[in-house]
Amino acid sequence: MQTATPTQAKGLPVSRGRITRPQKAVIYGPEGVGKSTFASQTPSPVFLDTEGGTHHLDVIRLDAASSWEEITAAVAQLANAQHPFKTLVIDTADWLEKRLAEHLCRKANKDSIEDFGYGKGWVLLTEEFARFLNSLDALLARGMNVVFLAHSTVKKFEAPDQAGSYDRFELKLSKSVAPLLKEWADLVLFANYVTRIAEKDSGKTRGVGGKERVLYATHTAAYDAKNRHGLPDKLPFSIDALAPVFGAQASQASPAPQPQAPAKSLTDRIFASFQHIADMANVVDFLVARGQLHYTAEGPLESIDNLDPAYAARMLADPKRFVAAVDEWVKGKEAAK
């Protein structure tokens, strides 16, 4: 719906003001961060589940989405049929690209997209993906939002104007499709867990993460993101934070009421209690030495949220006493060197 008003420009058909229209959004992040659950709270959503990852959610799905032909047919039916849906959620973009590659290879009797030779397969894939994005205009025209979910990957990035390289989070898509999707979208949000860095006196650092999740809405060297709504750089992982994007419908679409001020995680509470009176790296090492925290089979240290509740309660009940115990343990360890 256009809310712009006519303005004088001597024969030119121009207008001025904001234009309200359906949104084109991309939300990406690591596996398990909660992208599908988050998208289920968008206004009246229907899921196009390309990877079968919504089986644990009570959401409405388009049944046929296992092949490219089924996917494009489902979008066409959604554009023409009478229905109450206001948001199409494509879960996920990287599996959508995989289905497209399978379709092209099957059609040309190839085993891999690389078998087309000289990058031709990737050109065909990019052109077909662009046509798919264009087909979504029919949904936007009837007032539906389109939300792509996608996984993230960490890639080495080399800036052309700088020496050296660095790691950054990007969409887990081919190098030709990723920029196409980002350019198409009005909104690209990066969802991730909050990780805090605890630094020891020796200069060594350790990442200590909890269960807090956030949405990043502004591009940085560390990740891709953008928005055309003037959103803050960092948002809480709540559909209410996107009210400027989806309007009041987003909050109303939530299947369950969300608390205005969610309870702080155990990690947050311990950091708040000890970070100004103790070296948090020493606190973590002390908890490991006491067998209260352990390293996972994959290598990283488990979250402070996994502390025994009774032990954590004693820590928080008398922070000074606990810090004194940590300091005494550190002195003993240094004396033993």
Quick one: average pLDDT of 218-242?
90
For residue 165, what pLDDT band results from cuts at 50, 70 and 90? low
Cα four-point dihedral sign 69, 71, 74, 78? negative
Percent of the chain with pLDDT over 90: 44
Flag whether pLDDT at 265 surpasses 80.
no
Q: What pLDDT score does 248 carry?
A: 54
Flag whether pLDDT at 250 surpasses 70.
no
Q: What pLDDT score does 153 carry?
A: 92
Going from the C-alpha of 224 to that of each of 32, 209, 219, the distances in angstroms are: 19, 21, 5
Q: What pLDDT score does 257 carry?
A: 42
Flag whether pLDDT at 280 surpasses 60.
yes
The domain 17-253 having CATH identifier 3.40.50: the answer here is yes
Gap between the Cα atoms of 26 and 24, Å rounded = 7
Quick one: average pLDDT of 31-42?
92
Quick one: average pLDDT of 147-174?
82
Q: Identify the CA nearest to 49 among candidates 146, 149, 152, 136.
A: 149
Global confidence as pTM: 0.69
The pair of structure tokens assigned to 77 is: 């039916």
For residue 199, what pLDDT band results from cuts at 50, 70 and 90? low
Q: Identify the CA nearest to 33 among candidates 223, 185, 196, 194.
A: 194
Domain spans, the chain = 17-253, 266-335
Q: How much is the mean pLDDT over the chain?
A: 83
Q: What pLDDT score does 149 carry?
A: 96
- CB–CB of 144/88 below 8 Å? yes
Q: What pLDDT score does 271 carry?
A: 80
Q: What pLDDT score does 19 carry?
A: 62
For residue 36, what pLDDT band results from cuts at 50, 70 and 90? very high
Q: Identify the CA nearest to 176 among candidates 127, 225, 226, 227.
A: 127
Q: What pLDDT score does 10 carry?
A: 67
* Residue range 54-69, pLDDT digits in tens: 888 899 999 878 899 9
Gap between the Cα atoms of 152 and 224, Å rounded = 10
Residue 96 C-beta-side C-alpha neighbours within 13 Å? 27
* Residue range 2-26, pLDDT digits in tens: 555 555 566 777 777 566 679 999 9
* Residue range 266-276, pLDDT digits in tens: 777 888 887 77
Q: What pLDDT score does 209 carry?
A: 59
